[in-house]
Structure 1
Amino acid sequence: MTDERYSISQVARCFGVPVSTLRYYDDLGLLPAAERRGNVRYYGHAELCWLALIRCLHHRGLVSLADTAVLVGEDPAADRPSGREVLTSSIETIKGRIADLRNAQRLLEHLLTCPRADPVRECPYLRAELVQAVDHALGRTGVGDAP
């Protein structure tokens, strides 16, 4: 490891985030306190590793920013879930997203192979999916229920 320090603008550029995001993370206590020289914040390798962790957890969509704070925070609060609870909940959320994406993939693959001239407008399978989505949105329990 190196003792080299990087200015907040260098870090922002390297990580592809606005400087304001780094300041926000500092304010939330997500990043360890940055060294300051005048008004400029400087980060070392350890802080950059924390930033990489935050980006891994939050920016990849694995957990919310609030949950990221729970996972990387130093002081667990009594009114917040534990890190393991956050991880368990996040896994369940991801499983749901994966199921949704698999369903979307199946639908798109079906439309790609549908023999109808205009599958988006004419496919009976898609039409049934849309009717089911509308019924669900309207709180109907079965197809053909009266409004």
Structure 2
Amino acid sequence: MRIGDLATRTGVSVRALRYYEEQGLLASTRSESGQRLYGEAAANRVRLIQQLYGAGLSSKTIAELLPCVDAKVSTPESRERLAAERDRINTQIAELIIARDRLNDIIDVASGPNPDCDYV
């Protein structure tokens, strides 16, 4: 599939797909006319990259971990790194839960009208 098709299928911009290639996260072949061509597995790869970015991993970290993902094996170092990322995410989740609970408390307390706090 061409880069525009991959972008449409994954909801990722063409520019981002080109960046993924520059970073070594995604590979393509070229048609005779020079257009990028991707296999069917590319869509899953892009979704994985997006999930890892969404989890806060850098492109450098993703590039270092993808060979282990591709080989379906890991090293003690890669497992340690993934565990550290998981722990970081768990900390963020806990902090977000606290923030959500504080907002809920504010919403509950502020259920009555207050002229000093009129956002509507």
State the TM bucket, normalised to the shorter chain: 0.7 to 0.9
Distance 2:80 2:66 in 1: 14
- The answer for unaligned runs of 5 or more in structure 2 is 69-75
Larger-gyration structure (1/2): 1
Q: Does structure 1 conserve the Cα–Cα contact (< 8 Å) formed by 2:10 and 2:43?
A: no
Distance 1:110 1:82 in 2: 42
Higher relative contact order, chain-length normalized (CA < 8 Å, sep 6+): 2
Cα RMSD (Å):
2.4
- How far residue 66 of structure 1 moved from its aligned partner, in angstroms, is 2.2
Report the TM-score, using the length of structure 1 for normalisation.
Answer: 0.62
Q: Does structure 2 conserve the Cα–Cα contact (< 8 Å) formed by 1:30 and 1:73?
A: no
1:108 aligns to 2:103 (yes or no): yes
Q: Does structure 2 conserve the Cα–Cα contact (< 8 Å) formed by 1:54 and 1:68?
A: yes
> What does 1:1-147 align with in structure 2 at a 5 Å threshold?
6-31=1-26, 33-37=27-31, 38-58=33-53, 60-73=54-67, 82-114=77-109, 117-118=113-114
**Partner SS, residue 36 of structure 2:** strand
Give the number of aligned pairs: 107
- The answer for unaligned runs of 5 or more in structure 1 is 1-5, 75-80, 122-147
Identity of aligned residues (%): 32
Report the TM-score, using the length of structure 2 for normalisation.
Answer: 0.74
Q: Which amino acid aligns with 1:57?
A: L
Shift >6 Å, 4+ stretches? none
